[in-house]
Amino acid sequence: MTLIVQSVAESPSLAVDAPPAYGYLRVPDDVPDHQVLRLERALIAFAESEGLSFAGFFFEFEWGLRKGFNDLIAELVRTGAHHVVVPSLRHLALSTRLQDARQDRLAREAGAVVLARLPSVVNPST
Number of CB atoms found within 10 A of residue 107's CB: 13
Chain segment 43-89, per-residue pLDDT in tens: 999 999 999 999 999 999 887 779 999 999 999 999 999 999 999 99
Residue 15: per-residue pLDDT? 53
Q: Rounded to an integer, what distance in angstroms lies between the CA atom of residue 20 and that of residue 4?
A: 14
Chain segment 86-122, per-residue pLDDT in tens: 999 999 999 999 999 999 999 999 999 999 998 755 4
91: DSSP letter: G
What are the distances in angstroms from CA 65 to CA 4, 28, 44, 71? 17, 12, 24, 12
Give the CATH class of 20-116: alpha beta
Q: Rounded to an integer, what distance in angstroms lies between the CA atom of residue 117 and that of residue 90?
A: 11
Q: What is the mean pLDDT of the chain?
A: 86
pTM summary value? 0.83
Residue 46: per-residue pLDDT? 96
